Amino acid sequence: MGSFFLIVNAGSTTVKTRLFDEKLNVQAVLNADYGVDTGLVIDGYDVNNKTIRQNISSSHDAKSALAVVLNQWRQIFTANDVPLTAIGHRIVHGASWFDTLTPITQEVLDRLSQLDDYAPLHNPLNRLGVTMAADIFADIPQFAVFDTAFHRRIPDYAGRYAIQEGLSRNVEFYRYGFHGISCQHSLWAAAAFLDCAPENLNLLVLHLGGGASITAIRAGVSVDTSMGFSPTEGLIMAGRCGDLDPMIPLALQREGWALEQLDKLLNHDSGLHGICGEADMRMVLQKAGQGDADAMLAIDMFCYRIKKYIGAYYAILGDVSALVFTGGIGEHAPVIRTKIMAGLDKLGFSIDEQANQQQIQQDRDIGSDAGHSRILVIHAEEERVCARQILSFLGDNVQL
C-alpha cells in the first residue's frame, strides 16, 4: 500500500493535519478550529474521500482539540489499514540549534522547551502536538521541521542586533526569522510557475495571516526577513505589535506593569486588535466598510508598514523576479493586495485589478504586462514542505 506521512501543524487557534503518500499526494485532511466562539469545528475528508464535518459546542483548548484530531486519525488508520511511516511537526522556533529536519527525541524536546518564552504562541503547542502524537502512535518515528531553518543563511550584518553578544545565559539574540516553511514552499511554487530554477529567483515573499512577515530571497536564499528573535518583530499582525520602540515596554514597566502584562500586551492585545479591537482581518475589513474610523486606520497602518518593508527589501535585492502573496490574508483579501501595491509602479510592480479581484482557487499571476516584476498569489502549503523533507530524509529507508 506504500508509505504515508502525517503532518501536524498545531497553532494558537487551529490544528491543521494532512496525510501524504510517498508521491506527496494529499490522501486525507483533518483540521480543527478551536478558536471560534461556538466551540470546536472539525472539517476535512478521510482516505476514502468521505467528508468529515463536526461541530462540538463545548469549548476546547489546544490539548483537547489535538486529542480529538489525533484520535480520529487513529480510527481512520485502523479502519483502512493505513501503514503510517512517519509523523512530521511544524516547529516555529529552533534558534541556532536546529537548522534542518530533525528526528524528535526526548533530548530534542527538552531543548525546545527552553524556547517557549521566545515563541509563546507557538512552540508550547508544537511540543504538545509531539507528545500527544507519541502517546497515540508510540511506534511511529516523529520529525521536526523548523520555521527558522530557512533563514539560517542570513548574513551577520542583517541578522545581528546592535547589542553586546552573550547577554543571555540561555539563548543567542539573533534575527532567526519565521514563516520559513511557507517561504520555502513559495520559492518552489514560484520556480515551477515561472519555469525557472529556484536559485535563479529573487523574491519578496509576503506571508500575511494572523502572523505576518516579509522575506527577501536572493538567488533562492533568504537574506533578510522582518520577523526577528521572536515572531513579534516586523509587520503589524493580528495581535502582535510588530516593530516597536523598545523604550515603550520599559516605560510601562516603570509604571508598574508586570512581565506577564507586557507579554500579553505585545503578543495578544496589540496589532490590529490593539488599533481597532478586531484581530481578524475579515472583521476589520467589514467594519471599515461600515465607516469605522479605527478599522480604516488599522488597514492603513497594516499596509503602510508592509510598503515600507517592500521598499527596503527592494533596495537590498536590486532586482525582483516576483513578489509573492501567501497566507490567509495574502491569498483571500484582494483589497489589501490592491492597497499594498498602489504607488509601487516605479519599482516595477503593476497589478492587474481584474485578475486580482477574481477568486483565487490556484496559484496565479495577478501582475499586469506593464510591470517588470511579477506579482504572484501562491497557496500556502507548509504541510507539503514538511512531508517533502521527511521523504527526502528517509530516502531509501521508505517502503515504496
Residues 126-173 pLDDT 10s: 999 999 999 999 999 999 999 999 999 999 999 999 999 999 988 899
Encode pLDDT of 196-249 as tens digits: 999 999 999 999 999 999 999 999 999 999 999 999 999 999 999 999 999 999
* pLDDT above 90 for 41: no
Mean pLDDT of 372-396: 92
Alpha-carbon distances of 318 from 11, 134, 311, 314, rounded to whole Å: 35, 47, 10, 6
Residue 11 placed within a domain: yes
Higher pLDDT, 59 or 116: 116
Q: Can you give the residue range of the structural domain that contains 60?
A: 4-146
Alpha-carbon distances of 3 from 101, 116, 397, rounded to whole Å: 19, 33, 10
Q: Please tell me whether residues 35 and 120 are part of one structural domain.
A: yes
* pLDDT above 50 for 43: yes
pLDDT at 400: 33
Residue 64 placed within a domain: yes
Q: Which residues are catalytic?
A: 147
| Side chain identity, residue 201 | L
In the three-class reduction of DSSP (H, G, I as helix; E, B as strand; rest coil), residue 168 is classed as coil
User: Taking Cα atoms as reference points, which of 210, 213, 253, 203 lies closest to residue 233?
Assistant: 213
Higher pLDDT, 41 or 284: 284
pLDDT at 399: 44
pLDDT at 36: 64
pLDDT at 338: 98
CATH number assigned to the domain comprising residue 373: 3.30.420.40
Q: What are the DSSP calls for 39-60, one per residue?
A: EEEEEEE-TT--EEEEEE-S--
pLDDT at 176: 95
Other CB atoms within 10 Å distance of the CB of residue 362: 8
What domain count does the chain have? 2
- pTM of this prediction? 0.92
Q: Please tell me whether residues 223 and 326 are part of one structural domain.
A: yes
Distance (Å, whole) CA 219 – CA 85: 34
Span between the terminal Cα atoms of the chain, in Å: 9
* pLDDT above 70 for 396: no
Encode pLDDT of 272-300 as tens digits: 999 999 999 999 999 999 999 999 999 99
Higher pLDDT, 139 or 62: 139
Residue 179 placed within a domain: no
Residue 388 placed within a domain: no
Residue 85 placed within a domain: yes
Mean pLDDT of 33-38: 72
* pLDDT above 50 for 332: yes
Phi/psi for 393 (5° steps) reads -65, -45
Q: Please tell me whether residues 15 and 119 are part of one structural domain.
A: yes
Give Cβ neighbours of residue 57 (< 8 Å, ≥ 6 apart). Answer: 38, 39
Mean pLDDT across the chain, nearest whole number? 93
Q: Please tell me whether residues 133 and 208 are part of one structural domain.
A: no
